[in-house]
Structure 1
């Protein structure tokens, strides 16, 4: 039995079903939501989106995980409230907004202060082409992916932009760590401005294996893609943070 429970307060609105990335939720008899424990990853999206707080996770209720979402200038709130957004308004962000977000990452830590990162911002036209390429190239592993990509945009989740962070071949030894730090800070900064993000792992994974994809996004074959961040204005808002099990810390003297 998984530590996720739908209570009798469920109104069957289906918002949690639509936001479940593993498709483990379903509505029966037009009302209650049921959970398939085999697929649930305990990401907490259903818990965070439920408008009436009818889902419990790790024995925590919605009331225990409230945050002041009107105060997204507070770093504690930003970290607790951060979600991977998978549904976006299609309107693109202004170029100046994207430039300012990327420019702010110059303050992020960098190994040995080499600062080797390079940035690309893909538009929707490019993303449509690249998404189809990824789906075709990964169809041997995921046979349904081309159809799903055509219908649902599995690769980019409908985001109007994707920021690609890469390094040239002579900086691959520090690039990955720098990129992870930068992406984390970039997405928290974006959230403080009401902008949503998610880590587009399919482009990173397949892009590093595919000369054709690199060519389409104007990278050299020996460049290394270190991270990809889908970004845009969210088409929905989560209601609360999500319950998490505390980490255990050992202290040594």
Structure 2
């Protein structure tokens, strides 16, 4: 599939077939994520693949509890991928401080987008989930201090194709040589 076709076809999928995702496809998505660029080549990410149904069920009870229950749909995805942050190298953290930008989060976004685009290319659906109980999710995996689950990516074969969402026109979001 051509890159623009993949980009145009990618949607947030919230309904999945009850069909396991092959490890080869999961690894292909993770390989795409691994190749993403990052500030100072810090590669500030670690991915935890949750594809064992019993582990996923126990994890979802923690991650989607209380006010986070609105993202419970993700427990139906055959695979959840937890993106664990690492604040990056000293140089990139210094850049964070002076620019007041958390570059490790930008880097994770780039890596995650590589993952979801590769998934789309392989016929898989994804949904990026930021609404989760990170504290409970981190305790579930006994993450060391300083590590945080920033988001999850639900992954599986779509049960249906979501309708496209409206997008702004280029004229609305772009200006050249000045801000309009």
TM-score, normalization: structure 2?
0.78
**How far off is 1:95 after superposition?**
1.7
Q: Give 1 or 2 for the bigger CA radius of gyration.
A: 1
The answer on whether the counterparts of 2:85 and 2:108 sit within 8 Å (CA) in structure 1 is: no
Separation in 2, partners of 1:218, 1:96: 27
What are structure 2's unaligned runs of at least 5 residues? 94-101
CA offsets 1:67-110 (integer angstroms, 9 cap, x no match): xxxxxx12222212211001101222122221221022232111
Structure 1 counterpart SS, 2:160:
coil
Q: Which residue of 2 aligns with 1:214?
A: 138
Higher helix share: 2
Aligned in 2, Cα 1:194/1:135: closer, same or farther, shift over 3 Å?
closer
Task: Note the 1:15-94 alignment, pairs <5 A.
Answer: 73-94=1-22
Separation in 1, partners of 2:64, 2:119: 28
Match of 2:50 among 111, 114, 122: 122
**How far off is 1:169 after superposition?**
5.4
Q: Does 1:159 align with 2:83?
A: no
226-235 or 190-199, larger mean C-alpha shift: 226-235
What are structure 1's unaligned runs of at least 5 residues? 1-72
RCO comparison, higher one (Cα < 8 Å, 6+): 2
Aligned residues: 164
TM-score, normalization: structure 1?
0.57
What is the RMSD of the two structures over their aligned residues, measured on CA atoms? 2.5
Q: Which residue of 1 aligns with 2:129?
A: 200
